[in-house]
Every structure is written in C-alpha cells, then in structure tokens.
Amino acid sequence: MLSLNFGMRLRKDSRKRESRRSFGKQAYRRGRKQMESRKSFGKQAHRRGRKQMKMKILVRYIMLFLLMYLLIVIPFIQFVHLRQSVREISLTLQKLQEEIEKIEVKLKDIETRLNKIEDELNKWSVYEATAYAPLDPNAKEGMCYEGDPRITASGAPVVPGVTVAAGKELPFGTELYIRGIGKRIVQDRGGAIGRGRIDIAVETQAEAFQFGRRHVLVKILN
C-alpha cells in the first residue's frame, strides 16, 4: 500500500514537474515571441523614424533651395533684366540725342535762312506808285510837269524807263529796284509826291493811265 501511494505521489510530482516545464517552455516561447515582436516593432519604428528624419532633411533642403532661389536667383534675374532695360534706354537716349543734334543743325540752317530772308525783306519797302509822261505832246504843265518838261528837278534830263520822282527822304541819284518794273534812278520831285510815294516817268500819257495807281515793292540799291 505504501509503495502504491508513494508511486502515485511520484507520478503526480512528475506530472506537476512536466506541466511546470511545459508551462515554462510556453512562457519562454511567449516571451521570445514578445521579445521578437518588440524587436520587430522597434526595427519598424526605427525605420519609420529614419524615413521621417530623411523626409525632414529633404524638406529642409527644399526650403533652403527655395529660400536661396528667392533671395539670389530672382534678384539676379531682375538685375539682368534691369541691366538690359538700362542698356536699351541708354541706346534710345543716344539715338534721341543724335536726332536732337540733327534737328538743332536743321534749326540753325533754318534760322540762318530766315535771317537772310528777314534782312532781304528789310531791304524792301512798300511804296504807292503812279506814272507821269512829261515828254508826251499832250502833256499839260502843272499836271505832268513844272517848268521845262525835258529837265528834272535834279537838273538831269527826263529819261522814260530811268527817271523816277520821289520824296525828299530819297536823295537825288538814289538807285531803286522796283519789283516787276526794274531799276530806276531818283532824279525828280513833285508837289504831290511825298513820303512813301514814287512817280515813274513813261513815254506817253496812255502808258501813265494804264499804269494807274498801285502799291509796289521797292529796294534801295545804294
């Protein structure tokens, strides 16, 4: 009996030891699995962390590149465009300066011509002109001549086509150029011939009547 009980106890003890060993193995296996899962999770977390770190570094480099682009590249491009614009403006101003110089030369030439024209115009005066024919057989004293019809007030003979009577502002011997008529010489006076008037000697009274009264341009030649 004792041996039977002892044997049963031994069996129970061995079973307990086996169960304990089995439980320990299982616990060991579970622990290893947990350790491996933890290691795997740690590796994954480490990988994710490295990827995140790489992404952060990449983002920083991109931000740095954009910042450099904004601070260096864009101002440089603007500077190049500005420099080109300045060159174009400089060339345009140079061309304008050349055109202005050409215009100034033309203006000086025009001014010179205008001065010449003005000087020429200043030499001309407007006179009221009539004609008389003292050598015409039908000429009447007091109307066409005074005194000897063949002699002028200066003492020179009357020469149609040469003699002209004028006021005292034009001395005897003054040479005139009457536009549209020709050269004449002041040799005579007249009672009705005052300042700004001339009387031109012609051959006949018909010529005098045909000439009538008109305004002419007169230039003093001497």
Which one, of 128, 193, 185, lies nearest residue 158 by Cα? 185
> Residue 30 corresponds to which tokens in the numbers above?
């579970």
Are residues 117 and 129 located together in one domain of the fold?
A: no
Q: What is the pLDDT of residues 6-41, one digit of tens each?
A: 556 666 666 666 666 666 666 667 766 766 666 666
Give dist(CA 162, CA 169) in Å, integer: 19
For residue 193, what is the domain's CATH number? 2.40.40.10
Q: Give pLDDT, residue 198.
A: 95
H helix or E strand, kind and range, residue 126: strand 124-132
Write down the pLDDT at residue 219.
92
63 shares its domain with 153: no
Same domain, 42 and 111: yes
- Whether residues 216 and 137 fall in one domain: yes
Point out the domain boundary residue: 74, 106, 122: 122
* SS3 of residue 199 by DSSP: strand
* pLDDT of 2: 47
First to last CA, the chain: 185
Which residue segment(s) compose the domain that 114 sits in?
1-122
Query: Do 103 and 161 fall within a single domain?
Result: no
In a shared domain, residues 8 and 113: yes
Reported as type and span, the H/E element at residue 200 is strand 197-201
Number of domains in the chain: 2
Query: Which among 122, 146, 179 is the end of a domain?
Result: 122
E strand segments, 8-115: none
Tell whether 118 and 49 lie within a shared domain: yes
pTM of the model: 0.52
Report in angstroms the alpha-carbon separations of 25 from 20, 38, 41.
Answer: 8, 19, 23
Among 130, 188, 192, CA closest to 164: 188
The pLDDT assigned to 175 comes to 95
**Token pair of 199 as six digits:** 């009387």
Shared-domain flag, residues 9 and 24: yes
Q: Rounded CA gap, 45 and 39, in Å? A: 10
Give pLDDT, residue 17: 64
Per-residue tokens: 44: 């994954």
**For residues 135 and 212, what is the distance between their CA atoms, to the nearest angstrom?**
18
d(C-alpha 178, C-alpha 184), whole Å: 7
| 153 and 81 within one domain | no
Residue 6, pLDDT score: 55
Report residue 185 as tokens: 């010489």
Predicted pLDDT at 3? 54
Residue segments in the chain with a per-residue pLDDT below the cut of 70: 1-28, 31-32, 34-42, 45-46, 142
Please say which residue of 122, 137, 169 terminates a domain.
Answer: 122
- 139 and 118 together in one domain: no
Q: Based on the domain organization, do 60 and 50 belong to the same domain? A: yes
Amino acid at the residue 40: S
Residue identified by tokens 């290893």 is: 32
Question: 198, 129 in Cβ contact below 8 A?
Answer: yes
Instruction: Give the distance from CA 79 to its chain's centroid.
Output: 25
Looking at the structure, tell me whether residues 137 and 114 fall in a common domain: no
